[in-house]
Amino acid sequence: MNNYFIILASGQSKRFNSREPKQFNLYKNKPLFEHSIDKALKSKLFKKIILVVNNKKRVKKKFPRNIFVIKGGKERSDSSFKALKYIKKFKPGNVLIHDAARPNFSIKLLKNLITSLKKNKATVPFVNSKDSIKYKIKNQLFNLDKNKSFFTQTPQGFRFNDLYKLSLKQKSVIQDEATLFIQNDCKVKFIKGENLNTKITFKEDINITKTYYGIGFDIHRLIKRKKLFLGGVRIPFHSGLKGHSDGDVILHAVIDGLLGAMRKNDIGTFFPDNKNKFKNIRSPKMLKPILEILNKNNFYINNLDINLICERPKVSKHRDKMIKSLSNLLNIDKKLINLKGKTVEKLGLIGKEQAIACEVIASISKYD
């Protein structure tokens, strides 16, 4: 695997009409550019990922060691060449160059591009036009033939050495690297792109259709000789929670809250307690298919408000670990999770330290 992924995120975004460039605006609850990083990491196709930005101080998140953040140039082509010069020392085989303003490409597209580079020096995805396209000469409008017109997309894939040599000779400003190959009479292989892989240009391109809320609740008895898990974290305690699974009331309530917001029944529908295959199952495994449903239906988590109700263990001692675990499991920022500890003034089973309960309010939105 000698593939490299360059993400260009140094544009000024003048048409986006925002106080800061669009690549740093939130889209699906994270900065726009982070979606491209997440896809590249998840694909496990790339040795190194290069993020090119106009101001490195804007990048707050700490990324894995194979991600490098560098400062871009005045034009797109300047930023691209800076990234190419940066990775030259690593002797890359292939390089994919992507615009951060296209967050909705698939891992399948990445794989198709890399496969194509085994036989081609340059590979570019495209989609056909669905609309009529006209061009204007003076005051007259003329139609372009839709069958001969198409839109190119990113990421675009290249064999590094070929692209670098052409970039050294580049003198004019170019729109993308495919143009560089075409201008130099080099063959470009065009492959099928994706209609969902559209470019975000205006604020209207980020469109929330509706916000939904769900309430989750769970309670389990405490029993001896069982490990206690809360929010996916092993908590040192003299007892654990009785249940068909590991009894993690936080994750169970989160699952119920998300299912309620999506109007998809409840946790028992997906994990009935009379099925042996779910006996002693860890709750993070239960959460995974629920998140797949969430993503498949284009829902995204806005925030979670969690009340953990118990006399002991003291929530404050473990709050940060539990929030970090939930953030990792849900793939959302820690700032979107609020976790509070509540007691019941020694009342009932919870007050007698015989049970722990949890209630969650989940807010999700659906994006076009």
On whether both 52 and 197 belong to a single domain, the answer is yes
Rounded mean pLDDT of 96-125? 96
pLDDT of residue 90: 95
Count other C-beta atoms under 10 Å from residue 256's C-beta: 24
Burial of 303 (0-12, 13-18, 19+ CB in 10 A): middle
Q: Is the pLDDT of residue 130 over 90?
A: no
- Which residue carries 């009479």 as its tokens? 185
- One DSSP character per residue, 95-133 reads EEEEETT-----HHHHHHHHHHTTT-SEEEEEEE--S-E
On whether both 19 and 111 belong to a single domain, the answer is yes
The range of the structural domain enclosing residue 224 comes to 208-367
pLDDT of residue 209: 65
Rounded mean pLDDT of 202-221? 85
Rounded mean pLDDT of 201-219? 84
pLDDT of residue 208: 59
The structure's pTM equals 0.70
On whether both 197 and 293 belong to a single domain, the answer is no
Question: How far is CA 125 from each of CA 119, 188, 198, 279, 333, rounded to the nearest angstrom?
Answer: 15, 10, 12, 46, 32
On whether both 32 and 157 belong to a single domain, the answer is yes
46 pLDDT band, cuts 50/70/90, is very high
Dump pLDDT digits (tens) for 262-273. Answer: 999 999 899 888
Domain termination site, one of 205, 240, 258: 205
40 pLDDT band, cuts 50/70/90, is very high
pLDDT of residue 29: 79
Rounded mean pLDDT of 4-28? 83
Domain termination site, one of 158, 188, 205: 205
Dump pLDDT digits (tens) for 286-343. Answer: 999 999 999 888 899 999 999 999 999 999 999 999 999 999 999 998 999 999 999 9
Q: Is the pLDDT of residue 285 over 90?
A: yes
Dump pLDDT digits (tens) for 64-88. Answer: 899 999 999 988 889 999 999 999 9
The secondary element (H helix, E strand) that includes residue 302 is strand 299-309
Rounded mean pLDDT of 176-195? 92
On whether both 151 and 261 belong to a single domain, the answer is no
**CATH number for the domain harbouring residue 277:** 3.30.1330.50
On whether both 79 and 118 belong to a single domain, the answer is yes
170 pLDDT band, cuts 50/70/90, is confident
pLDDT of residue 15: 73
On whether both 266 and 311 belong to a single domain, the answer is yes
Domain termination site, one of 205, 223, 241: 205
pLDDT of residue 146: 67
Rounded mean pLDDT of 116-139? 86
Rounded mean pLDDT of 121-140? 83
Count other C-beta atoms under 10 Å from residue 71's C-beta: 12
> Considering its fold, how many domains does the chain have in total?
2
On whether both 150 and 25 belong to a single domain, the answer is yes
- Nearest residue to 153 (alpha-carbon basis) of 178, 122, 118: 178
Dump pLDDT digits (tens) for 249-266. Answer: 999 999 999 999 999 999
On whether both 199 and 221 belong to a single domain, the answer is no
pLDDT of residue 368: 58
On whether both 32 and 119 belong to a single domain, the answer is yes
CA dihedral 335, 337, 343, 349 (to 10 degrees): -160
Mean pLDDT of the chain: 90
pLDDT of residue 304: 97
pLDDT of residue 323: 97
On whether both 159 and 300 belong to a single domain, the answer is no
On whether both 242 and 176 belong to a single domain, the answer is no
**CATH number for the domain harbouring residue 84:** 3.90.550.10
Q: Is the pLDDT of residue 59 over 90?
A: no
